[in-house]
Structure 1
Amino acid sequence: MRLLITGGAGYIGSHIVALLLEKKHDLLIVDNLEKGNRANLFPGVELIEGDIQDETVLEKAFSKPIDAVFHFAAWKAAGESMTDPSKYALNNISGTLKLLTFMEKAGTKKVIFSSSAAVYGSPKYLPVDEKHPLHPENYYGYTKLAIEENLKWYESLKGFNFAALRYFNAAGYDPQGRVRGLERTPANLLPIILEAAVGMRKEFEVFGTDYDTPDGSCVRDYIHVSDLAKAHVLSLEYMDSEKKSLTVNLGSEKGYSVLEVIRLAEEVVGKPIPHKISGRRAGDPAKLLASSSLAQQLLQWIPEYSEAKTLLKTMWDVYQNPA
């Protein structure tokens, strides 16, 4: 198949590209490289350097037939989305609508969308499944939900098929070492810990140790990016065979507390990692765990690399020797 990957030089997008190349697909990447890393581009994969909000970029991308689109081009910092919502509205929502418009004109009606557990907001029950109420508590999460809703309309009005894949906390690096470009300005815990471990930052903060959890720190569900990549490829195969859309969670179904992750990271790197304890951060639930049983049922998807030490070892390998 000829496949378009928006944001294909980014952290998650580049891991998808690695797996799609294994499957011998013909790939085209659109990435403005503002967050993407040129080191994560693969030889022989065509790149259009530009933004999905730029219609000339999209015209070029769809100048040849495209069988399906993997859509990763989005801003994703929840805190920033609350202070600069226009940035997120323009790129995430308007950019996606432009992409869908060009897909429709080109007759491309399959899209695999990078969604987020942020569509749920604070959990009403655990583990969070796909029937959980949708109540995002930051504008970033709202943009993901708005895109999901538009995909449903395009399905009913235009005959699109889509996969909305709701990630929990993506982490890790390709175990084969094919992706070595570091994520730029990460906002997630594990890359921040590794940045402190290699001296890229002086220290990091632990926000709250007085939650109702075994050690008082927040508990989260981490999923290895290579396991995410596998789910994306399986989703494309599912849409091809079943001619149906799907919306599923992607998580490991196992929780690790912040303090537990720090302890395990220190074991992996072999030294203390500088951090300090701060007060709670607004909007952080005590626990967030996924139910991924629907993805396992529909896609026969089982995470292979999402045990915490495996996540951390694959990251430490790259942080010690990045591209």
Structure 2
Amino acid sequence: IAGQPIFVMRDRSGEIRAFFNVCQHRGHELLKGRGSLKVGITCPYHAWSYNLDGTLRNAPHTETVANFDRAQFSLRAINVAQSAGMLFVNLDAECEPFETKMGRFGETITPHLPDFEDYVAVERLHYDLGANWKVVVDNFAEAYHIPVAHPELARVLDEGLDDFVQEEGFSYFLYRSRTGFEGLEIEAGSPYVAWMAWPTLNMLSLPGSKNLLVLRMLPNGVGQCSERVDIYAPEGPVDPKLLAVKSLFMDHFNQQDIGIVESVQRGLSSLGYDQGRYVCDPEDSWFSEVPLHTFHWQVLEALERLDG
């Protein structure tokens, strides 16, 4: 995660813990893959071993080493939270509790994905974009562009949000289809659900089948980023409906969005552009750019914290 090797485990009491995957002796990686631990964690380099709570259990031949204090060599723990069958880790040791900014997140997930704990990863997609990651999040944060940029999608979605939640750490958008999608076995009234979580996590649950698409923007420079999409579905053969709707959204709508954000990136560098204007109405209607405004405030606050 963010270039850092980590591992997540469940201890004997059932508590989920996360640690940086690095031995405190010489920095060797501790674990690979997945599985079960019989006793503890043993480094394959010099056999330093750790208890499941991260404390150093044994360091061979250190009995006569002067001032050797095992308590100083515990694994570095990482903040981890569980919500709606998902695990969230935060590399910031001083971060606020997950519930502070994401308290209602689970409430918005569970009605749509009640059995998400049983889902498995079925596909990973990767896109290289000629746009800053924030421009990509901007586009995801509003539906104002859908009637113009995605007319096929606009024809089947109700003009309005069926539900909307805006909290400090995430946004939730629930749309419903007005009609079925042409050529797809999707009924009118089917939900199309989107989530945004600060700073780069976006998620979609597409209509017609059980699924979750997890999108992350990974910065590669000022004007480039990568978009990684992990697709989750119930274990077993993938529903043909998911394959069809995934193709529509990722091979068509997402390609339209890539063209949009790359055009915006070029425009932001133009001498002819200075300052835009948010379209925010008091009723937070479907076309309102309130989530976009919120995201920009989050960016500014994060930059101010970096400035000290």
The alignment's TM-score, normalised by the length of structure 1, stands at: 0.23
Higher helix content, 1 or 2: 1
Determine which structure has greater relative contact order: mean sequence separation of CA pairs < 8 Å that are 6+ residues apart, divided by chain length.
1
The alignment's TM-score, normalised by the length of structure 2, stands at: 0.24
Higher Rg: 2
Higher strand content, 1 or 2: 2
